[in-house]
A = this chain, B = another copy of it.
Amino acid sequence: MPKSAEKKKFIVETQFHTFCEPPNELILKSGEKLGPITLAYESYGTLNADKSNAILICHALSGDAHAAGYHEGDKKPGWWDKMIGPGKAFDTDKYFIVCSNVIGGCKGSTGPASINPNTDKPFGLSFPVITVKDMVAAQKLLIDYLGIKKLLAVTGGSMGGQQVLKWSVAYPEMLHSAIVIATNAKHTAQQIAFNEVARQAIMADPDWLNGNYYGKSVPARGLAVARMIGHITYMSDQSMQEKFGRKLIDKERLGYDFSTDFQVESYLKYRGDSFVHRFDANSWLYISKALDYFDLANGKNLTDVLSQTRAKFLVISFTSDWLYPSYQTKEIVRALKTCGRDVSDIEINTPDGHDAFLVENKGQSTIISHFLENRAKEVAHNE
Contacts and interface: CB of A to CB of B under 8 A. Distances in A.
A246 B264 CA distance: 33
A177 B67 CA distance: 58
Interface residues of A, number: 57
Given A200-B225, A200-B272, A292-B262, A190 B232 contact: yes
Q: Which of A206, A254, A295 lies at the interface centre, i.e. has the most chain B CB atoms within 10 A of its CB?
A: A254
Contact of A30 (B30, B190, B256): B256
Contacts of A94: none
Contact of A228 (B200, B203, B269): B200
Contacts of A243: 189
Interface stretch (A155-163, A191-199, A311-319): A191-199
This chain: how many copies in the complex?
Answer: 2
A265 interface: yes
B240 A189 contact: yes
Contacts of A246: 186-189, 192, 295
A247 to B, nearest CB: 8
Dominant secondary structure at the A interface: helix
A254 B241 CA distance: 39
30 contacts: A30-B256, A125-B258, A129-B258, A188-B237, A188-B241, A189-B246, A190-B235, A190-B237, A192-B264, A192-B265, A193-B231, A193-B264, A194-B232, A196-B262, A196-B268, A197-B268, A200-B224, A200-B225, A201-B204, A204-B204, A204-B221, A204-B222, A229-B229, A237-B322, A237-B325, A258-B285, A261-B292, A261-B293, A262-B292, A322-B322
Contact of A201 (B189, B194, B201, B264): B201
A192 B262 contact: yes
A209 to B, nearest CB: 13
A205 interface: yes
A178 B224 CA distance: 41
Nearest to A258: B285
Nearest to A262: B192
A129 B257 contact: yes
Contacts of A245: 188-189
A341 interface: no
Contacts of A257: 129
A289 interface: yes
A291 to B, nearest CB: 12
